[in-house]
Amino acid sequence: MNTQTATTDEYRVCNTTGLNIFRKAEWFVKANAVLAVIFLLVGAVAALLLALTRWSNVMLLSDVWYYRMLTVHGVNMLVFWIIFLEMAILYFASTTLLNTRLFSKKLAYVSLVLMTIGAIATNYIMFAGQADVLLTSYPPLEAHPLFYLGIILFAVGALIVCFNFFATLYIAKKNKTYEGSMPLVTFGAATAAIIAVVALVHGAIALVPTFFWSMGWTEMMDPGVYRLFWWGLGHHSQQINVAAMVAVWYFIATMSTGAKPLNETVCRAAFILYILFINLAAAHHLLVDPGFSAEWKMWNTSYAMYLAVLASMIHGYTVPASMEVAMRRKGFNKGIFGWFARLPWKDPGFSAVALSAIIFGFIGGITGVTLGTEQINIMAHNTLRIPGHFHATVVGGTSLAFMGLCYYVVPLIFQKDFYLKGLARIQPWIFGGGIVIMSLGMSFAGTYGVPRRTYDSDFSGATLETGFDPVAHIMLGILGIGGILAFIGLLLFILLVVAAVFFGPSLKGKKMPTWQTPEAQKMTDDLISRGYEEEGKDYKHIKTPGTVVLVLIFLLSFAIYYFANWAALADLWHIR
C-alpha cells in the first residue's frame, strides 16, 4: 500500500500498513513488550522445573523449591508476562489504529515505573523465600508484606495505563482523527481494558486489606470472602486475556490473509457480551466452597456465564469464516477445505494464531465450560484437570496468540528483521504441540484425582498411605515430556525475538519482509487495499462451508465431552 516514507517529529508512516505510528506511544509499546518477554523467561525457567518435578519418576526439585517455583511461575506468567504484553497492545491499539497521539506521556512513564518496581519487588521476595503462598495467597497463609505491595503497585500501574488508554480514545474522538466507529481490534482492546478496571477493583478489595493484615495493622480477612474477591480479580483477568487474544486473532487474520470481519455488528456484540456477562462468572471457582447457596452458584455460572461462552463461540466462527472468505476471494475455491490448505501456514504469526484458536476452542473452551458446571466441578476441583484446562486457554490460547503478534510487532514496531526464519516458522508448532501434550497429560492424570499444587503425587511418608494407579503416573510422564517440549518452544521464541530486537538487521524505511511467497503476499495486499466498502459488497454471495464443517465438529466434540462428564458423575457416591 503506502510505500512513501513521510515522517514528522510526532509520527512516522509505517511502510507496510500505511498507518501512522506515533513515536512516543511506540516507545511504550516497545518497553512493555521487552519487559513482558523478560518476565516470560523467568516464568519459563520455573515452568521447566515444575514439569520435571510433577513427572513422578523425576521429581527434580525439593519440596520447598517446588512450592517456591510454583509461586514464581504463576505470578510471573499469569500476571507479569500477560499484563505487560496487554499494556503494549493497549498503547498500539489506541494510538496507531486511531491515528492519534498518546494522551499523556508522563502518565505512561509513571505507570511503567510502578509496574516495573512492583514486578521486581514481588520477584525479589518470592526468590528470597518469604512468600511461599502461591499465586492465590489464600489467607490464613501469609506472605511478607512486600509480596502484596509489589502486586498492588503493579496493579495500580496497569490501572493508570487503562486510564491513559481511555483518555487517548477520548482525544481521538474529540479531535476527529478517524471517521465513524473505531476499528474492531481497538474495540476488542477497549473491551479488555474495561474488564481490566473491574478486575483491578476486585483485586484491590482482596489484596489491600490482606497487605494491611500482613503489616499487622488489621485483622485477617475472612478466607471465604477473600476467595470471592480474589476470584473477582482472577477470573476477570482471564476474560481480559480472552478479549485481548480475540483482538489479536482479528489483527493477524487481517495482516496475514487480508480477512475482513464478515459482520461488524456480530463481532462487536460478542465483545459486549464479554463485558456484560463476565462479572458473575467468578463463581465457577467457588462451586464446591462452603457458604454459597446452590441457587447462587447455578445462576452465576449458567445463565450469565453461558452468554460469555456464546460470545467465544461466535468469535470461533467469525475469525475462521472471515479468513475463508478472504481465501476464496483470492481464488482458492477448491472443495470444502481447499482454502484451508492454502492458508499462510509458513507465516509464524498466522500459524501461532491458528493454533491458538484451535487449542483455545477445542481443549481450553470445552474443558472450561464443562469443569465449570456446578456438579461436574466435584470431580475436578483442585485436581490436575484444572491446570490442564487453563494451560490450553491462557497458554496455548492467549500466550501463543501473543507470540504470533510478536512476529509482527518486531518488524513493524521495532523495525528489525528476524534471523533463522526457518526456526521461527516451526516455533509455534513446537510450543503449541508441547502445551497440548502437557495439557492432556495433566487432564488425564486429573481424572484419576491427582491433585494440582502438590509436590509428591503419592504422598509418600504420610501416616495413612495412599497412591495412584500406574496409568496416572504415565500421564504425569506425558505432562513432563510435553512440558519439556513447550519449554523448548518458548525458549526458541525468546531467543528469536531477542536476537532480532537487539541484533537484527534494521528494516527502517523498508516494507516488512513477507513470511509468504511474494505472489501470496501480493494477493493479500490487494485484498487489503481494496478497502472496506468494496470488500463488503459481494461477500454475501460467498459461502463458508469449510468453517461450517469446522464449527460443527467443534460442537459435536463439545457435546460428547460434556455429556460424558455427566455420565461419569453419576457413578459417584450420592452427595448434596
Partner 1 sequence: MSIFHPKGNWFRAPTGSERMWVGLALVWCLVMSITMPWWHFQGKQNAPSETYEVDPAAFMERVNQFVDAHQVDEVNGVPIVEPPPGGDAYLMGQMWRWYPVLKLKEGQTYRIHVSSVDLQHGLSILPLNMNVHVLPGYDYVMTVTPTTSGEFNIICNEFCGIGHHLMTGRIIVES
- Regarding beta strands 11-13 and 20-22, do their DSSP bridges make them parallel or antiparallel, or are they unpaired? antiparallel
344 touches, from ligand HEM, partner 1, none (C-beta below 5 to 8 Å by class): none
Task: Give the C-alpha distances (Å, rounded to integers) separating 530 from 117, 258, 277.
Answer: 46, 10, 36
Q: Which of 486, 492, 512, 550 binds ligand HEM (CB under 6 A)?
A: 486
In the complex with ligand HEM, the residue whose CB is nearer, 41 or 117, is 41
In the complex with partner 1, the residue whose CB is nearer, 169 or 492, is 169
In the complex with partner 1, the residue whose CB is nearer, 429 or 459, is 459
Which region, judged by CB under 6 A, interacts with ligand HEM, from 120-128, 167-175, 481-489, 522-530? 481-489
Angle between helix 470-503 and helix 421-447 axes, rounded to 10 deg = 150
Burial of 574 (0-12, 13-18, 19+ CB in 10 A): exposed
As beta bridge partners, residue 87 has none
Q: Which of 231, 487, 493, 515 binds ligand HEM (CB under 6 A)?
A: 487
x/- map, 286-325, partner 1, by CB under 8 A: xxxxxxxxx--xx--xxx--xx-xx--xx--xx--x----
Binding positions for partner 1, 194-253, rule CB under 8 A? 222-224, 227, 250-251, 253
In the complex with partner 1, the residue whose CB is nearer, 404 or 504, is 404
Quote the radius of gyration of the chain (alpha carbons, Å): 23
Task: Give the C-alpha distances (Å, rounded to integers) separating 394 from 51, 54, 171, 216, 397.
Answer: 17, 20, 33, 35, 5
379 touches, from ligand HEM, partner 1, none (C-beta below 5 to 8 Å by class): partner 1
CB 40, min distance to partner 1, A: 24
- Determine, following the binding rule CB under 6 A, whether residue 240 of this chain makes contact with ligand HEM: no
x/- map, 76-115, ligand HEM, by CB under 6 A: -xx--xx---------------------------------
Among the listed residues 154, 158, 85, the one whose alpha carbon sits nearest the alpha carbon of residue 123: 154
Residues near 43 by Cβ (< 8 Å), separated by ≥ 6? 72, 73, 76, 77, 80, 81
- Determine, following the binding rule CB under 6 A, whether residue 396 of this chain makes contact with ligand HEM: no
CB 511, min distance to partner 1, A: 16
Q: Which of 31, 37, 61, 70 binds ligand HEM (CB under 6 A)?
A: 70
- Determine, following the binding rule CB under 8 A, whether residue 104 of this chain makes contact with partner 1: no
- 270/19 Cα distance (integer angstroms): 27
Binding positions for partner 1, 419-478, rule CB under 8 A? 447-449, 451-456, 459, 461-469
Q: Which of 183, 361, 364, 368 binds partner 1 (CB under 8 A)?
A: 183
CB 234, min distance to ligand HEM, A: 9
Task: Render the burial of 93-107: b for 16+ CB within 10 Å, e for the rest.
Answer: bbbbbbebbbbbeee
54 neighbors 67 (Cβ within 8 angstroms):
no
- Determine, following the binding rule CB under 6 A, whether residue 385 of this chain makes contact with ligand HEM: no
Binding positions for ligand HEM, 434-453, rule CB under 6 A? 438, 452-453
Ramachandran region, residue 459 (left: φ > 0; alpha: ψ -120 to 50; beta: rest) = left
Strand, helix or coil at 467? coil
9 touches, from ligand HEM, partner 1, none (C-beta below 5 to 8 Å by class): none
Burial of 246 (0-12, 13-18, 19+ CB in 10 A): buried
x/- map, 111-140, partner 1, by CB under 8 A: ---------------------x-x---x-x
Strand, helix or coil at 258? coil
500 neighbors 414 (Cβ within 8 angstroms):
yes
487 touches, from partner 1, ligand HEM, none (C-beta below 5 to 8 Å by class): ligand HEM
Task: Quote the cell numbers at residue 126.
Answer: 518470592
Among the listed residues 415, 425, 421, the one whose alpha carbon sits nearest the alpha carbon of residue 505: 415
544 touches, from ligand HEM, partner 1, none (C-beta below 5 to 8 Å by class): partner 1
- Determine, following the binding rule CB under 6 A, whether residue 47 of this chain makes contact with ligand HEM: yes
Burial of 346 (0-12, 13-18, 19+ CB in 10 A): middle
CB 375, min distance to partner 1, A: 6
CB 377, min distance to partner 1, A: 7
Q: Which of 300, 399, 415, 447 binds ligand HEM (CB under 6 A)?
A: 399
